[in-house]
């Protein structure tokens, strides 16, 4: 891999070595090993990417190219292994090439490096994909560093980070594969996956950024793998945002990562959606955050499973240490299970039904749920709460199974019922 950051030192060394050899050679006939010439980078014009381009690695250039502006990539672009591109302050790439190919493809030995002309966090802007629909689009074995100088998209919904993809309303969604990509020393968060693009990610390293490593939509959390690392940022959480919050027509799992998840708002598991939260996962919730398993129409084929183990329980907790919404089940007759979990601070507030102060687990329309070996602690209200409308009678709840659960420091009861709007 090129030592691109040593360019000035290398140039000084070459000049000094040349003078030394000229002054102190023992003989004109003595063989002198030639010194490899060090060349400056090629400065690319702002309209350079209006046509198809291939960027190549020149071993004589510690930095191959410099980009000085916010350039629009409209032609296909292929960046070969070992290429180093340095971006001036607030420069970057707006990728708008429709179905043409965008390919940054390094190797483990010769990664592609996108860096700043100054090695300061947040020096250049980043990569922003607006129209990139080719299913072969890829960034592989690449280092993206010192980006995130400002938002990549300032209008609502704003998008930031060092790499982001825009939400598109057309039937053809954007597409991008990220494999063995390091995003580091950004001025904001690292990666934005909050939109509806078709994305594949693996072996990410996102560290050293000024905010959290990644913002991600609920329907893309399952893409994050345990081969990736997200630690070492100012705020070490995977932030699950409110955009694209529906898990629908998919069966997915949230696996344990090296940092907790942070849920901003509603995560809705709906028609033919099935979510499993795996052992050892920690999910923090903002005060308005909650999980909802509820379909709108029969056969109500949705499920939410929280499957910890005795050694690795799942921990659901408020980010502020005080309160979050809770877990909302409605109609579902699937195999919904919660086992070996710790549910803490859940207040029973669910904006979707104007519900407040109900319970950590809210049940509407007799959903099928089994809860076992779970600890309910530091709850402002009830642990379980069943909707009974205007009736004050205790419901029978034939589909609820509770076994070997623990309750400590409850503000209410183990089981409550009512209209949920008290």
DSSP result, 145-179: ES--SS-SB-SSSPB-SSEEE----SSS--EEEEE
DSSP string, 263-306: E-SEEEE-TTEEEEEPTT-EEEE-TT-EEEEE-SSTT---EEEE
pLDDT at residue 35, as a whole number: 64
* Nearest one of 362, 350, 337 to 287, comparing CA atoms: 350
CB atoms within 10 A of CB 182: 20
Residue 77 has pLDDT above 80, yes or no: yes
Averaged pLDDT for residues 340-354? 96
Say what percent of the chain tops pLDDT 70. Answer: 92
pLDDT at residue 36, as a whole number: 72
pLDDT band at 34 (very low <50, low <70, confident <90, very high): low
pLDDT at residue 253, as a whole number: 98
* Nearest one of 160, 165, 255 to 209, comparing CA atoms: 160
Averaged pLDDT for residues 255-267? 98
Parallel, antiparallel or unpaired: strands 261-263 and 238-240: parallel
pLDDT at residue 218, as a whole number: 97
Averaged pLDDT for residues 252-275? 98
CA 4 to chain centroid, in Å, comes to: 29
Give the span between the Cα atoms of 216 and 194, in whole angstroms: 5
pLDDT at residue 7, as a whole number: 43
The answer for residues whose C-beta is within 8 angstroms of residue 42's C-beta and 6 or more apart is 61, 64, 65, 66
Query: Comparing 116-130, 154-168, 212-226, which segment has the lowest mean pLDDT?
Result: 154-168
Residues 353-409 pLDDT 10s: 899 999 999 999 999 999 999 999 999 999 999 999 989 999 999 999 999 999 999
In the numeric block, which tokens belong to residue 20? 């030394």
* Nearest one of 147, 253, 232 to 192, comparing CA atoms: 147
pLDDT band at 32 (very low <50, low <70, confident <90, very high): low
Query: Comparing 22-36, 43-57, 144-158, 175-189, which segment has the lowest mean pLDDT?
Result: 22-36
pLDDT band at 12 (very low <50, low <70, confident <90, very high): very low
In the numeric block, which tokens belong to residue 149? 């100088």
Give the span between the Cα atoms of 333 and 384, in whole angstroms: 18
Give the span between the Cα atoms of 131 and 176, in whole angstroms: 11
Say what percent of the chain tops pLDDT 90. Answer: 86
φ and ψ of 23, to 5 deg: -85, -30
DSSP string, 354-385: TB-S-EEEEEES---EEEES-EEEEESSEEEE
Give the span between the Cα atoms of 192 and 198, in whole angstroms: 13
* Nearest one of 249, 312, 239, 314 to 275, comparing CA atoms: 249
pLDDT at residue 421, as a whole number: 82
Give the span between the Cα atoms of 333 and 367, in whole angstroms: 6
Give the span between the Cα atoms of 188 and 122, in whole angstroms: 7
Which 8-state DSSP code applies to residue 312? S
The answer for residues whose C-beta is within 8 angstroms of residue 400's C-beta and 6 or more apart is 363, 369, 370, 371, 384, 386
DSSP string, 112-129: EEEEESS-STT-S-EEEE
Averaged pLDDT for residues 7-12? 36
Residue 25 has pLDDT above 70, yes or no: no
pLDDT band at 26 (very low <50, low <70, confident <90, very high): very low
| CA angle, 186 then 148 then 40, to 5° | 85
Residue 20 has pLDDT above 50, yes or no: no
């Amino acid at each position: 891999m090129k030592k691109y950051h040593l360019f000035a030192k290398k140039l000084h060394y070459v000049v000094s070595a040349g003078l030394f050899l000229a002054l102190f050679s023992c003989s004109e006939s003595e063989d002198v090993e030639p010194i490899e010439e060090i060349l400056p980078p090629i400065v690319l014009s702002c309209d350079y990417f209006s046509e198809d381009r291939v960027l190549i690695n020149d071993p004589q250039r510690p930095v191959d190219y410099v980009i000085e502006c916010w350039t629009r990539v409209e032609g296909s672009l292929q960046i070969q292994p070992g290429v180093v591109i340095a971006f001036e302050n607030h420069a970057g790439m707006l990728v708008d090439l429709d179905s043409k190919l965008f390919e940054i493809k390094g190797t483990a030995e010769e990664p592609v490096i996108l860096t700043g002309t100054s090695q300061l966090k947040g020096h250049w802007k980043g990569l922003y994909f607006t129209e990139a629909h080719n299913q072969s689009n890829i960034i592989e074995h690449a280092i993206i560093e010192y980006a995130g100088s400002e938002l990549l998209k300032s209008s609502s919904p704003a998008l930031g980070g060092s790499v982001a993809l825009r939400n598109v309303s057309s039937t053809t969604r954007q597409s991008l594969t990220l494999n063995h990509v390091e995003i580091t020393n950004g001025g904001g968060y690292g990666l934005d996956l909050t939109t509806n693009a078709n994305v594949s990610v693996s072996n990410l390293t996102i560290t050293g950024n000024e905010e959290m490593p990644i913002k991600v939509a609920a329907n893309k959390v399952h893409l994050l793998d345990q081969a990736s690392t997200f630690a070492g940022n100012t705020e070490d959480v995977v932030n699950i945002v409110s955009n694209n919050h529906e898990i629908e027509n998919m069966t997915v799992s949230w696996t344990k990562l090296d940092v907790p998840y942070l849920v901003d708002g509603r995560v809705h598991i709906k028609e033919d959606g099935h979510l499993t939260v795996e052992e050892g996962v920690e999910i923090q919730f903002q005060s308005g955050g909650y999980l909802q398993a509820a379909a709108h129409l029969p056969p109500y084929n949705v499920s939410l499973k929280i499957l910890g183990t005795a050694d690795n329980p799942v921990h659901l907790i408020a980010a502020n240490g005080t309160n979050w919404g809770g877990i909302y089940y409605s109609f579902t007759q699937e195999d919904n299970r919660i086992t070996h979990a710790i549910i803490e601070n859940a207040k029973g507030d669910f904006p979707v039904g104007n519900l407040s102060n109900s319970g950590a687990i809210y049940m509407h329309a007799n959903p099928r749920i089994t809860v076992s070996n779970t600890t309910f602690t530091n709850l402002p209200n009830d642990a379980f709460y069943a909707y009974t409308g205007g009736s004050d009678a205790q419901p029978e709840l034939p589909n609820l199974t509770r076994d070997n659960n623990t309750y400590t420091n409850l503000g209410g009861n183990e089981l409550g019922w009512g209209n949920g709007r008290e």
